[in-house]
């Protein structure tokens, strides 16, 4: 992983590859700091791609929106675009809104104090089939450097889940009927409803929070319609993060 040299007014596009934050710009074996990432595509073919990975992103979240982008083949797709202002650049983290990473970010977003700096990272615990986003705030310089997760005091949790009561908010859609009889198609329908809910929170709650935190006269670099890394869960799998 590398510390990317930052230039004034630079816009850095970042995606998620194999659970790690990665620069979206095309890389090869000759690109400084690039690493080869091996993966299996939807057809079961073994492939690899060269990426420059980041340890984390530290900055102020200034924008969150659902964008419609167009791939090299002309196919249109949506992305969750998260605009983050770091020391002297504007980073746009782009995630497939259907992915576990996007849903995990949106589960936490309403608990963020957008006037404060954030430590952001992604993870993929393959042995537990857990993917998500880490968001921390309240940096303590007495503990360590900003690029260390341990230096940040407060971890932003799931806004819709009460840990003490072990109860999900009534806002979150829940499966109807007996889930023990659910087949794959039933789960697909439910996950579409769940995804629609999380996406709706962007315009309904998150953007108004951002507008309050950052006045409308605050100039932001334009978010270009540029494709980032798209990762999707090929199989429907029930995990511990469902609201029932």
Percent of the chain with pLDDT over 90: 64
Structural domain spans, the chain: 10-213
Residue 199 three-state SS: helix
Please name the helix (run of DSSP H) or strand (run of DSSP E) that holds residue 10, with its range, or none. strand 10-17
Whether 181 has a pLDDT exceeding 60, the answer reads yes
- The pLDDT assigned to 228 comes to 46
- The pLDDT assigned to 204 comes to 97
Q: What is the mean pLDDT of residues 100-108?
A: 96
Q: How far is it between the farthest Cα atoms of the chain?
A: 56
pTM of the model: 0.84
Residue 10 pairs with which residues in a beta bridge? 89
The rounded distance, in Å, linking the Cα atoms of 118 and 137 is 5
Residue 184 three-state SS: helix
- The pLDDT assigned to 222 comes to 52
The rounded distance, in Å, linking the Cα atoms of 195 and 29 is 37
- The pLDDT assigned to 30 comes to 87
The rounded distance, in Å, linking the Cα atoms of 74 and 223 is 19
Q: What is the mean pLDDT of residues 166-172?
A: 94
Q: Checking phi first, is residue 84 left (phi over 0); if not, alpha (psi -120 to 50) or beta?
A: beta
Percent of the chain with pLDDT over 70: 84
Judged on CB neighbours under 10 Å (0-12, 13-18, 19+), 100 is: buried
Q: What is the mean pLDDT of residues 146-172?
A: 95
The upper half-sphere exposure of residue 47, i.e. CA atoms within 13 Å in the direction of its Cβ, equals: 9
Strand order through the sheet with 130-139: 20-23, 10-17, 89-95, 76-85, 57-70, 118-125, 130-139, 152-155
- The pLDDT assigned to 69 comes to 80
Comparing 1-5, 144-148, 180-184, the range with the smallest average pLDDT is: 1-5
- The pLDDT assigned to 235 comes to 38
pLDDT tens track for 210-235: 999 997 644 454 555 554 444 444 33
Q: Which residue has the higher pLDDT, 160 or 40?
A: 160
């Amino acid at each position: 992983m590398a510390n990317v040299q930052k230039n004034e007014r630079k816009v850095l596009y970042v995606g998620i590859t194999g659970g790690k934050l990665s620069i979206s710009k095309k890389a090869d074996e000759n690109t400084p700091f690039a690493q080869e990432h091996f993966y299996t595509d939807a057809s079961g073919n073994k492939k690899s791609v060269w990426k420059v990975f980041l340890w984390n992103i530290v900055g102020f979240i200034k924008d969150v929106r659902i964008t419609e982008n167009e791939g090299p083949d002309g196919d249109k797709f949506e992305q969750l675009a998260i605009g983050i202002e770091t020391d002297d650049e504007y980073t746009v983290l782009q995630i497939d809104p259907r992915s576990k990473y996007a849903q995990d970010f949106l589960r936490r977003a309403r608990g963020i104090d957008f006037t404060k700096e954030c430590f952001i990272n992604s993870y993929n615990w393959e042995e537990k089939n857990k993917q998500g986003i880490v968001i921390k705030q309240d940096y303590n310089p007495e503990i360590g450097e900003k690029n260390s997760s341990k230096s940040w005091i407060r971890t932003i949790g799931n806004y819709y889940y009460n840990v003490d009561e072990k109860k999900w908010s009534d806002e979150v859609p829940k499966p109807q009927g007996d889930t023990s009889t659910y087949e794959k198609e039933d789960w697909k329908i439910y996950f579409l409803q769940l995804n629609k809910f999380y996406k709706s929170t962007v315009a309904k709650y998150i953007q108004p929070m951002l507008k309050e935190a950052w006045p409308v006269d605050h100039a932001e670099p334009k978010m270009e319609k540029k494709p980032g890394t798209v990762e999707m869960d090929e199989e429907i799998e029930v995990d511990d993060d469902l609201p029932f």
